[in-house]
Amino acid sequence: MSRIMRRMTLAGVVMGLALMASTHCVAGGSTGLYVGIGAGQIQGDDDFDDEASAAKVFAGYNFGWLPFLDLGAELSYLNGSELDGDVDGTSATLDIESLQAMGIAGFSFGPFGVYGKAGMADWDADRNGRGVSKDYSGTDPVYGFGARVQLFDVTGRLEVERIDADRIGHVDTLTGSVVYTF
């Protein structure tokens, strides 16, 4: 997790510098329906302590009831590439995909914001290898945090999430996303 935290800190500094340099940013988080797409990295746990690429699409609604406070709900689909691992001395891979429903709460500081999210993830995982083939599925908690920078109706987000799955170990993701608010 230390690599993810270092990358998150570096991205926060870059976003902060971009925020200071930008003169065209609008204040506050956008209220309404939004859609987004993201890419990043997925990291496994236990037998599959490996990193691979991940892609994500999502849609949500930001309620915007109070200034400086962002409240919303989001549905997302996450698809991770193969994680390599070792199961009982045999090489194997693990493919993970997940459908997630989360509530989001955060603070807006003009065009910059930070947020936390929590909800449930319905996930499927396929474990394959020589003599090893098994499908797993489950519904487990998912939670995370992130930062965003908004420029008109387009927002850039950087976030870390964890699916807290006991059957396959924790699954961490680090994604950068582009979001459009209608």
Express each pLDDT in 87-126 by its tens digit.
777 788 889 999 999 999 999 988 999 999 999 999 999 9
Residue 3: C-alpha distances to residues 8, 9, 176 (Å): 9, 10, 15
Amino acid occupying residue 49: D
Report the mean per-residue pLDDT for the chain.
85
Q: Two tokens at 65?
A: 């009831």
Question: How many domains in the chain?
Answer: 1
3-state SS, residue 31: coil
Q: With 90 as the cut, is the pLDDT of residue 31 above it?
A: no
* Single pTM value for the model: 0.79
3-state SS, residue 50: coil
Which residues, in sequence order, are CB contacts of 157 under 8 Å at separation 6+?
36, 38, 146, 147, 148, 175, 176, 177, 178, 179
pLDDT recorded at residue 16: 56
**Which residues face 34 on adjacent strands?**
60, 181
% of the chain at pLDDT higher than 90: 52
Q: Two tokens at 66?
A: 């109070």
Q: With 90 as the cut, is the pLDDT of residue 77 above it?
A: yes
CATH assignment of the domain containing 74? 2.40.160.20
% of the chain at pLDDT higher than 70: 84
How many CB atoms sit inside 10 A of residue 170's CB?
A: 15
Within 13 Å and on the Cβ side, how many CA atoms surround 65? 5
Q: With 70 as the cut, is the pLDDT of residue 26 above it?
A: no
Cα–chain-centroid distance for residue 146? 8
Residue ranges making up the domain that contains 94: 2-181
